[in-house]
Structure 1
Amino acid sequence: MLRCIAVDDEAYATRILAAYIEKVPFLTLAGTTTKPLEALMWVQEGRADVVFLDIQMPELTGLQFLKLCGPKCKVILTTAYPEYALEGYEHDVVDYLLKPIAFDRFLRAAQKAYALLTPPAGASAAPALAAPPVSLPPSPNYMFVKGESKNKFQRVAHADILYIEGLKNYVSIYLPGQRLVTYQSLRELETQLPQPPFLRVHKSYIVSLNYLRLIDDNTLTIGQETIVVGETYREAFFKIIRER
């Protein structure tokens, strides 16, 4: 059993990691914190085998944390910024998880840590023991989207989403009679949605096939809105439409 702590300056992120840790039979949650200095103290006290560590934190960055904790534990980085991946691996981290983190991706990282920390007894030169198989739980039929303040999130059922429009660093999520604007990229949301019924049809649009009422050549009608299928997405889109 590997003792894990989750460190992120956003409490919501630590709750997600804690829920993931509790689903995996070979992991146990040793603690969560939004204060990296507190987490560093826990590591120095020997309370953790694995640390799930955010990079962008105001008190102490994840990379600074890595330099201070040294080889006392294994670290899995979690961040929304892919540009830190190379520097993280230079510090010999186990894995690098890009937010939003899907459970199957989290599980693969946990299995890497298990293999590194659980060698077979009496066979130090042998390959590390494979992590025990874990069944993936069914994907949730909802997601949480960021609100106008740092720690505000709104639950949105997948079944209620008509389509999503990308607006640079923001997206507009269109629901029946409602429009939500959230500070996320269209690419981030695309990874959280089941495909199908959700399909990327344009660099700026994801649509739900459940609400698609008319296809006229390359033009889609959802409610009162018309959306053009981008050239890059046409072949994949019409292949799925023909199969359904």
Structure 2
Amino acid sequence: MKCIIVEDQIPAQRILKHYLQDFPEWQLVASFTDALQAKEFLQKEEVDLIFLDIHLPRLSGMDFLRNLKKHPAVILTTAFPDYALESYEFKVIDYLMKPIAPERFAQAMEKYHSLYKKAESDFSFFVKSGYEKIAVSTKDLIYIATDMDYTELHLNDKTVLSKETLNHWEQKLEDHGFQRIHKSYLINLEQILEVYSNAVVLKSAQEIPIGRAYKEAFRRRLES
């Protein structure tokens, strides 16, 4: 697997390179002190993971992510904790605060492997809808909403009705990238486009409210 480092402080680059030596499955293909150089590199090459500082010369880390057409996974390396929620839409899988301890770095790498192993083994299941049993894949499932007597499973190309409760779906899907953010909504975290204080916007343009009782658990899930 291939990664790059985008970090303007050479000592910080050295630390990341040193930590990466404990992960022989990873190949560090390039290091940059400038996000514009990294952007030019990524127009020609593909990588699996970027170690990215936020405060960079000429182009900030967040603006760099906004301008990328294709997003590899990202581990942010920064001295500033203020960008955690904003960074989530850019496939940021961890947020490492400087100075970075080796144990914390290893935890971030394990998180990458855990998340992408799940993504590769997509979870599929059957939904009983009326007299039918409909196959559903989590990669196609955007969110689930409840309407008293039934739940609506909103897929990329259709909506499936089920007699199962939202609590049932929450328990079934919580280990497959889904999170309850409101008493009436369970969302696919991979489908998040933007996060606001009281709502999320999904890639389908659907805006889902964040319930007060679910806000703290949702925040912890995003930062975990």
Cα distance in structure 2, aligned partners of 1:23 and 1:34: 23
Cα distance in structure 1, aligned partners of 2:91 and 2:119: 22
SS at 1:81 equivalent:
coil
The one of the two structures with greater contact order (alpha-carbon pairs below 8 A, sep at least 6) is 2
Q: Is the 8 A contact 1:44 1:72 kept in 2?
A: no
The aligned residue for residue 98 of structure 1 is: 97
Matches within 5 A, 1:50-199: 50-119=49-118, 123-125=121-123
SS at 2:47 equivalent:
coil
Under a length normalisation based on structure 1, what TM-score does the superposition of the two structures give?
0.46
Under a length normalisation based on structure 2, what TM-score does the superposition of the two structures give?
0.50
Cα distance in structure 2, aligned partners of 1:115 and 1:71: 21
Count of residue pairs brought into register by the alignment: 124
1:99 aligned partner, one-letter code: K
Aligned-residue identity in percent: 41
Question: For the structure 1 residues 120 and 8, does the alpha-carbon distance in structure 2 shift closer, same or farther, using more than 3 Å as the test?
Answer: closer
Q: Is the 8 A contact 1:3 1:50 kept in 2?
A: yes
Give the CA deviation at 1:120. 8.3
Matches within 5 A, 1:203-222: none
Question: For the structure 1 residues 117 and 42, does the alpha-carbon distance in structure 2 shift closer, same or farther, using more than 3 Å as the test?
Answer: farther
RMSD of Structure 2 on Structure 1 (CA): 2.0
**Structure of greater Rg:** 1
The aligned residue for residue 17 of structure 2 is: 18
Cα distance in structure 1, aligned partners of 2:94 and 2:69: 16
Query: 5+ residue gaps in structure 2?
Result: 125-224
Cα distance in structure 1, aligned partners of 2:111 and 2:56: 25
Give the CA deviation at 1:86. 2.2
The aligned residue for residue 6 of structure 1 is: 5
1:112 aligned partner, one-letter code: K
Q: Is the 8 A contact 1:43 1:73 kept in 2?
A: no
The aligned residue for residue 34 of structure 1 is: 33
SS at 1:94 equivalent:
strand
**Greater shift after overlay, 9-18 or 20-29?**
20-29
